[in-house]
Structure 1
Amino acid sequence: MSLIKSISGIRGTIGGKVAINLTPIDTVKFSAAYGIWLKNQTKKETLTVIIGRDARISGKMVSNLVSNTLIGLGINVTDIGLSTTPTVEVAVTLSNADGGIIITASHNPKQWNALKLLNGKGEFLNAEDGESVLKIAEEDSYVFAEVDNLGIYKKEKEYINKHILEVLALDLVDIEAIKNAKFKVVVDAVNSTGGIAIPALLKKLNVQCVELYCEPNGHFPHNPEPLKEHLTVISELVVKEKADFGIAVDPDVDRLAIICGDGSMFGEEYTLVACADYVLGKTKGNTVSNLSSSRALKDITEKHGGSYQASAVGEVNVVTLMKETNAVIGGEGNGGIIYPESHYGRDSLVGTALFLSHLANLKISCKQLRDSYPNYFMSKNKIELTPEIDVDAVLAKITSKYKDEDVISIDGVKINFETEWVHLRKSNTEPIIRIYTESTSQEKADNLANKLIEDIKNSI
């Protein structure tokens, strides 16, 4: 069906033909390329890589292939088993490992899986390092270890608990206030590893947890991307249980969506806004999100006297800009919270703890908190083009047309108007231009999108 190679890893559907799908041969090939890159980078005689996976049906198979490939290169493997993306990131630093591989296709359906590659800081590879791994894979020239130099394999089962303890130790996680609030929360973990991690965190905070789809068996009961249209069951259950709010995470637990007590969506864009509001109220500083994220974060940051910057889309780009600007919190508008006091990676456990702290300190309802923020509406569209069309030339014409506006061209074209914006990006894998808009009403956001679609058609 599909195999996508990018700087952040390898992603594809299980089964099918080699080089077209994520087959065992492809898994071994890219695991070996990563292992060789790591050996070239560190020049150390003994290397250790952390391996963790979400609950996908194919996860154990892929994990075994990855682990044994690295062992074959003479690299030691610490397998932490069923885990989360942020837990693997934390595990790399806690164990002083040299790298990590997270076996997860994030929000993709169950037939997909992927290798997400980490460096020795527990962070995603940057563009240069990612390209190096892909180049090694293309060269297809591997030298494996002799029998006396094979890597050592061991299992560790306690890293989710260690991760939770790290979260609870953060200065801004107000454990006493959360416990005193006596929250009741419904959790939808889409039958993946969030069903292990999020309830365990909540129980340590004296939060009553109603579990929905928390059995980590990999059988996703609905589309695993935590969007409004996929969260109807938890929305109804929050109301039925008279819960304070609901929490939904994706299969690898780096995206956090909140459902208000009345069943309405807090809004995936506003998870970061709320957490940033809390952090900025306690720690003065700057924020970063990507170009396709809501303007609400900018508003909240400036309200607290900080400076907001936007990066190109992609977690590694957000992290790079956060470091450059000394941002105290950042992330992506898809519900991804990056809090440097913990680590430089999107983390739903950190996001949950900060959100609970914020709500407990304010002593208001989830819906009241949402209503306190600027109300923006987004429209997400795409326009399909024929392969022969020069997408870059089309975007250049749009840039010229709106040259008198505030135009940012570090990642496609983003045009900032007084009360709204549009972001146009070309797909790396298909002839598509993605069109994201935001305005002060849904109608205005949709109208702006339609206007830019017409501009694009007229530019072809």
Structure 2
Amino acid sequence: MPLIKSISGFRGTIGGRAGENLTPEDIVSSVAGYGDWLIRSGARRLVVIGRDGRPSGPVVSALTAATLQSMGIDVIDCGFATTPTVEMAVVSRKAGGGIILSASHNPKEYNALKLLNDRGEFISHDAGQDLIATVRSGNITYAGVDDLGTLTQDDRALQDHIDAVLAHPLVRVEAIRAAKFSVVLDAVNSVGAISIPPLCEQLGVACQVMNATLDGEFAHNPEPLPANLTGLIERMKTSGADLGVAVDPDVDRLALVGPGGRWIGEEYTLVTVADYVLQHDPGPVVSNLSSSRALADVARKYGQEYHASKVGEVNVVEKMKEVGATIGGEGNGGIIDPRLHYGRDSLVGLALVLSHLATGGATINDLRDTYTHYEMVKDKIEMDPTLDLADALSVMEGLFPDTPKTNIDGLKLDFPDGWVHLRGSNTEPIVRVYAEADTRERAAELAGEVKGKFIELTRAQG
């Protein structure tokens, strides 16, 4: 995979040629650019770092810490840590920023530097552009020998995160303990194995763990989609557990499986949480343009407003703050609860789902039956690097003159019985094609129609 530099951070495969992959040279230059941005912003010269279970983690972490220290920046290293754990540690440790060393759902050969500001949130678009320009310029100044930064290990960050979840005003700890739930977890051999089980233990929930070896040798494609979670689905057919849960390698996405192996899915994680939250704290809800219509339906049920943002956590957070959302996130299983912090968080997501089950008396399968049923198809198109995507999508708009559309992030077409969203990925050289309708067949039909027109168009342009 080519090295991708964006406001989402720096991501690529380990090894290969400098400038084309995530090599040591690229790690050092990228981290130095971040350090330079941090210093120029006037933030405290203290950065929190943490990593998922990938085999490259120790090397990437060592290079990251040493580069920051070489710029006169002190480093707090959380070691193995979830993305939300690092985000919260930035705030609790009063740091100037943070770097999460994880390529999220990508396979083990990938890694990434995900960059945070002093609020533990992903840096803004403008900050990202500034930082990328600095990296390209190479105009970096390093500290002298008497001004090098320090390195401190932090073994408390995860428990502090769990403590904050347990203290959340909508997490019904005693009700969950009284329910004596049992959960099956697919930890995908990453930091879910050290974060979800202790949360469950402190909630009185029995937790069976699949793929619990913290070595980053992912037992399957780590993206929490049904095709990748056949083992969890099969286990739930016979386990007798109340809930099956799957997380991605950095634990900011949560997918659900019901008793009997019923796929609840990543799209309905946010819907389930919003259904619970809106009963107790009504207010606007936010998801991105590629998320299910089911969230808008739940908001409507409680007389609340639904808002859509561009894809990307930073964009969802920005929209949530703008409208004062009480809950938000992404349909990929990312729950963002502003009472805890503005970041996707599977720990608080799971605690809120369990609170819903414990206080409502319904099973997760029962709850799923109460929500509008939609099916989503997720496809992609390999993108020619020479393609002017904005121009191609502009031409695509003209091919659907009578269809309502949104173009704040790629192109979303709203048909009477479904929608299709095309957009360039922030993390891979592809165009994502998402479609949703009442049935999988209709969603696939819509996706195929729009994808076909796009491919035909780009071939003609080429």
The TM tier, using the shorter chain, reads over 0.9
Q: CA deviation at 1:382?
A: 2.9
Q: Say which SS state the counterpart of residue 327 (structure 1) adopts.
A: coil
The answer to whether 1:23 aligns with 2:14 is no
**In structure 1, distance between residues paired with 2:454 and 2:63:** 45
Which of these residues, 348, 351, 369, is aligned with residue 350 of structure 1? 348
Partner of 2:403: 405
Structure 1 residue 446, shift from structure 2 partner? 1.2
Give the one of 248, 257, 267 matched to 2:255: 257
Q: Is the 8 A contact 2:406 2:413 kept in 1?
A: yes
| 2:6–2:426 contact (8 Å) kept in structure 1 | no
Q: Contact conserved, 2:421 with 2:434, CA < 8 A, in 1?
A: yes
User: Is it true that 1:104 corresponds to 2:102 in the alignment?
Assistant: yes
Specify the code of the residue in structure 2 equivalent to 1:241: S
Instruction: Report the secondary structure of 2:67's partner residue.
Output: helix
Relative to the length of structure 1, the TM-score reads: 0.96
1:70-104 superposed Cα distances (whole Å, 9 cap, x missing partner)? 11111111111110000000001111111000011
Distance 1:62 1:427, change over 3 A: closer
Residue type of the partner of 1:25? E
Q: How does 1:17-96 map to 2 (within 5 A)?
A: 17-42=17-42, 47-96=45-94
CA distance in 1, matches of 2:391, 2:36: 38
1:354 Cα deviation from its structure 2 partner = 0.5
Distance 1:437 1:280, change over 3 A: same
Q: 1:278 aligns with which of 273, 276, 279?
A: 276
Q: 2:160 aligns with which of 157, 162, 173?
A: 162
Change (3 A) 1:458 1:111: closer
Q: Residues of 1 paired with 2:228 and 2:157: CA distance?
A: 30
Which whole-Å CA distance do the structure 2 matches of 1:106 and 1:305 have between them? 35
Q: CA deviation at 1:384?
A: 4.5
What SS class does the counterpart of residue 259 from structure 1 fall into?
strand
Give RMSD over aligned pairs. 1.6
2:420 aligns with 422
Q: CA deviation at 1:14?
A: 1.2
For the 8 Å contact 1:262–1:367, the answer to whether it is kept is no
Q: Percent identity?
A: 51
Letter in 2 for 1:314: G
Residue-by-residue CA offset, 1:159-200 (whole Å, 9 max, x unaligned):
100000001111000111111111010111111111000000
CA distances 1:360-413 after superposition (whole Å, capped 9, x unpaired): 111121111111110001122234465555433332233223343321110111
What pairs up with 1:176-325 in 2 under 5 angstroms? 176-325=174-323
- Counterpart Cα distance in 1 of 2:277 and 2:235: 30
Give the C-alpha shift of residue 215 in structure 1. Answer: 2.3
Stretches (4+) displaced over 4 A: 384-390, 427-432
User: Larger deviation: 411-420 or 387-396?
Assistant: 387-396
Distance 2:123 2:32 in 1: 16
Q: 1:388/1:51 Cα in 2 relative to 1: closer, same or farther (>3 Å)? A: closer
Distance 1:277 1:430, change over 3 A: closer
Cα pair 2:70 2:143 within 8 Å, conserved:
yes
On the 8 A contact 1:289/1:330 being kept in 2, the answer is yes
Equivalent position of 2:116 in the other structure: 118
TM, length-normalised to structure 2: 0.96
Q: Hey, what's the Cα distance between the residues in 1 that align with 2:21 and 2:41?
A: 29
Q: Which amino acid aligns with 1:4?
A: I
Using the alignment, how far apart are the partners of 1:89 and 1:167 within structure 2? Answer: 14
Q: Which 5+ residue runs of structure 2 have no aligned equivalent?
A: none
Contact kept? 1:99, 1:118, Cα under 8 Å: yes
